[in-house]
Structure 1
């Protein structure tokens, strides 16, 4: 599964990331991680204090990857609407759900301040990043002055996360796509009125 050139800690982290996404924290046993990574119990405990320590490394990496993927789209040039639209329409494995957002449904992750922190920080970062772009749009008169960037950014993040749930529930990406199209229509309706001079 892994190249012989991939280190044991790297294999353990990547295996844990994959299993957390598929099974959640509770369903990811140390034995399953070891088998997936092709690593022995001694190797795992040599590099990590235990499952929580390994899970934290995996969650932090997944959160960092999510931020980088979002920033690659949101950090582009162009109008605010186009950047938000590009983020909403970017390629996703919708039926697998969000690897970060899904962790909020795991009671053991939510009960642990340490495991929950990178999840909360990432979703807060995303909301703040989108709010900043929307604020630029208001300042550039792309959006109406009445648009509240923070509220709309929260709506965008909630729609994406909820869209994953709808898609997984229905077994089709169409539910996610419908939610995104509806959100974009609402955002387009917030355009600043044309100057009537």
Structure 2
């Protein structure tokens, strides 16, 4: 399952990332982590002080990966609308949901300032990055100057996260896809000349 070159600590972090996405914090037991990572209890506690420490490392890595993936689309070439579209239309495992966004539904993660911090920071970074692109698009005349960049950024993130919820509830990506198409249509409309 894991590369033979991966260290035990790397295997533990990767196993925890997968289990958090599949089961959430409560459903991710140290035993399940150890089994998935192929590591013993002694190895786990040699590298990490306990489940919260390991979960924090896993959440941080997942957050970093989400940022890198989002930036690959948002930092690419094209107009503001094209870059936002690249982000919204990028390949995702929609029915699994967002590995970061799903953590907001986990009461133990939300109750812990330390575990919640990388989740909040990542979603705040994403809203800020999107707001910058909307602002840039407005200034270049690619998007309506009437748009509030922070509000549009929040709408984009809410559409994606809400789309995951709708898709998971229905067992189909159709609602996610419809939300993305609708948002792109709204962003693509600019006021008529002279309005």
TM-score (norm: length of structure 2): 0.97
Aligned length: 195
Residue aligning to 2:76:
76
Residue aligning to 1:109:
109
Instruction: Give, in whole Å, the separation in 1 of the partners of 2:184 and 2:3.
Output: 43
Residue aligning to 1:54:
54
Instruction: Give the superposed CA RMSD.
Output: 1.1
Query: Which stretches in structure 1 are left out of the alignment for 5+ residues?
Result: none
Instruction: Give, in whole Å, the separation in 2 of the partners of 1:116 and 1:64.
Output: 14
Residue aligning to 1:185:
185
CA drift of 1:195 comes to 6.2
Deviates more, 1:120-129 or 1:138-147: 138-147
CA drift of 1:141 comes to 1.3
Instruction: Give, in whole Å, the separation in 2 of the partners of 1:149 and 1:52.
Output: 36
Residue aligning to 1:120:
120
Instruction: Give, in whole Å, the separation in 2 of the partners of 1:156 and 1:176.
Output: 12
Residue aligning to 1:2:
2
Query: Which stretches in structure 2 are left out of the alignment for 5+ residues?
Result: none
Q: CA 1:192 to 1:79, structure 2 compared with 1: closer, same or farther past 3 Å? A: farther
CA drift of 1:186 comes to 1.2
Write out aligned runs for 1:1-197 (5 A).
1-189=1-189, 191-194=190-193
Cα deviations across residues 97-148 of structure 1 (Å, max 9, x unaligned)?
0000000000000000000000000000000000000000111011222110
- Contact 1:141-1:192 within 8 A present in 2 as well: no
